[in-house]
Structure 1
Amino acid sequence: MRYDSITEAIGNTPLVRIDADVHGLGNIDLYAKLELLNPFGSVKDRPAWHMARPLLEAAADGDGTVVELSSGNTAKALALLAGMHGLRFKSVTNRMRVPEIKELLLLLGAEIEELPGRSECLDPTDTDDPLTRFHQALAEPGNAYLHTDQYFNPRNAEAHAMGTGPEIVKDLDGRAPDWFIACVGTAGSSTGVARALREHHPRVGVVGLVAHKSDFIPGIRTMDEVQQVGLFDPATYDTIESVTSQEAIDGMITLIRRCGVLSGPTGGAAYHGAVRRLRAVDARLAQTGERQTAVFIVCDRAESYLSYVRERRPEVLGRPARGHSVASLTEAEVQERGKVLAVADARSWTATADPRPLVVDLRGPHAYAALHIEGSINIVDELFEELVRTGLPFSKRTPLLLVCPVGEKSLRFAALLTRMGHPDVRSLAGGVVAWRDAGAPLVRE
Structure 2
Amino acid sequence: MRYDSVTAAIGDTPLVRIEPAVHGLRHIDVYAKLEMLNPFGSVKDRAAWNMVRPGLESAVERRSQIVELSSGNTAKALSVIAGMYGLSFKSVTNRMRVPEVRDLLLLLGAEIEELPGRSECLDPTDTEDPLTLFHRALSDPDSTYLHTDQYYNESNTRAHELGTGPEILADLDGRAPDWFIACVGTAGSSTGVARALRAADPRVHVAGLVAHKSDFIPGIRTIDEVHEVGLFDPATYDTMASVSADEAIEGMLTLNRRCGILAGPTGGAAFHGAVRHLQAVDTPTADGERRTAVFIVCDRVESYLSYVKQRRPDLFGLKERKNSLRDVSEAELGAVVSVPAHEAEAWIGTAQPLIIDLRSASAYTALHIEDSINIADELFGELVRGGLPFSRRRPVLLACPVGDRSARFAALLTRMGHSEVRSLDGGIIAWRDAGAPLVRD
TM-score, shorter chain, exceeding 0.5 = yes
Among 332, 337, 340, the residue aligned to 1:339: 337
Q: Separation in 2 of the partners of 1:289 and 1:320? A: 49
Alignment check: 8 A CA contact 1:62 1:85 kept: no
> Is 1:388 the equivalent of 2:384?
yes
Displacement of 1:288: 7.1
Give the partner amino acid of 2:386: T
Displacement of 1:430: 1.2
Deviation digits for residues 178-222 of structure 1, max 9, x if unmatched?
000000000000000000000111110100000001210000000
Displacement of 1:286: 7.1
Alignment check: 8 A CA contact 1:62 1:87 kept: no
Displacement of 1:300: 0.2
Q: Separation in 2 of the partners of 1:20 and 1:116? A: 47
> Is 1:377 the equivalent of 2:358?
no
Taking the TM superposition and a 5 Å limit, the aligned residue runs for 1:103-114 are 103-114=103-114
Q: Separation in 2 of the partners of 1:216 and 1:57? A: 38
> Is 1:82 the equivalent of 2:82?
yes
Taking the TM superposition and a 5 Å limit, the aligned residue runs for 1:16-35 are 16-35=16-35
Taking the TM superposition and a 5 Å limit, the aligned residue runs for 1:342-361 are 342-353=340-351, 356-361=352-357
Q: Separation in 2 of the partners of 1:416 and 1:294? A: 39
Among 418, 435, 441, the residue aligned to 1:439: 435
Alignment check: 8 A CA contact 2:410 2:423 kept: yes
Q: Separation in 1 of the partners of 2:331 and 2:145? A: 48
Q: Which residue of 2 aligns with 1:303?
A: 302
Alignment check: 8 A CA contact 2:59 2:65 kept: no
Taking the TM superposition and a 5 Å limit, the aligned residue runs for 1:89-128 are 89-128=89-128
Displacement of 1:287: 8.1
Give the partner amino acid of 1:203: R
Q: Separation in 1 of the partners of 2:54 and 2:377? A: 40
Displacement of 1:267: 0.1
Q: Which residue of 1 aligns with 2:42?
A: 42
Q: Separation in 2 of the partners of 1:286 and 1:201? A: 18
Q: Which residue of 2 aligns with 1:2?
A: 2
Q: Separation in 1 of the partners of 2:98 and 2:236? A: 29
Q: Which residue of 2 aligns with 1:423?
A: 419
Taking the TM superposition and a 5 Å limit, the aligned residue runs for 1:182-261 are 182-261=182-261
Give the partner amino acid of 2:348: T
Q: Separation in 1 of the partners of 2:326 and 2:285? A: 36
Give the partner amino acid of 1:98: V
Give the partner amino acid of 1:341: V
Q: Separation in 1 of the partners of 2:390 and 2:23? A: 45
Q: Which residue of 1 aligns with 2:142?
A: 142
Q: Which residue of 2 aligns with 1:400?
A: 396
**More off after superposition, 96-105 vs 341-350:** 341-350
Q: Which residue of 2 aligns with 1:161?
A: 161
Q: Separation in 2 of the partners of 1:346 and 1:434? A: 11
Taking the TM superposition and a 5 Å limit, the aligned residue runs for 1:263-278 are 263-278=263-278
Displacement of 1:338: 1.3
Give the partner amino acid of 1:338: V
Alignment check: 8 A CA contact 1:329 1:416 kept: yes
SS in 2 for 1:79: helix
Task: Report the number of matched residues.
Answer: 441
Instruction: Report the CA distance shift for 1:351/1:45 in structure 2 as closer, same or farther (over 3 A).
Output: same
Displacement of 1:347: 1.1
Alignment check: 8 A CA contact 1:62 1:86 kept: no
Instruction: Report the CA distance shift for 1:52/1:167 in structure 2 as closer, same or farther (over 3 A).
Output: same
After the TM superposition, which parts of structure 1 deviate over 3 Å for at least 4 consecutive aligned residues?
286-290
Give the partner amino acid of 2:342: A
Q: Separation in 2 of the partners of 1:425 and 1:287? A: 57
Displacement of 1:226: 0.3
Q: Separation in 2 of the partners of 1:151 and 1:369? A: 25
TM-score, with structure 1 as normaliser: 0.97
Deviation digits for residues 308-340 of structure 1, max 9, x if unmatched?
0011001111111111211222333311x2111
SS in 2 for 1:215: coil
Alignment check: 8 A CA contact 2:45 2:77 kept: yes
Alignment check: 8 A CA contact 2:210 2:221 kept: yes
Deviation digits for residues 344-403 of structure 1, max 9, x if unmatched?
1111111112xx210000000000011111110000001111111222222111110000
Displacement of 1:240: 0.4
Q: Separation in 1 of the partners of 2:386 and 2:60? A: 55
Q: Provide the aligned C-alpha RMSD in A.
A: 1.1
Give the partner amino acid of 2:36: L
Give the partner amino acid of 2:55: L
Alignment check: 8 A CA contact 2:60 2:87 kept: no
Give the partner amino acid of 1:352: T
Alignment check: 8 A CA contact 1:126 1:132 kept: yes
Q: Separation in 2 of the partners of 1:3 and 1:288? A: 45
Give the partner amino acid of 2:324: S
SS in 1 for 2:63: coil
User: Structure 1 regions of 5+ residues with no counterpart?
Assistant: none
Q: Which residue of 2 aligns with 1:171?
A: 171
SS in 2 for 1:210: strand
Deviation digits for residues 281-318 of structure 1, max 9, x if unmatched?
11x33787442100000000000000000110011111
Displacement of 1:62: 6.4
TM-score, with structure 2 as normaliser: 0.98
Percent of matched pairs sharing the same residue: 71
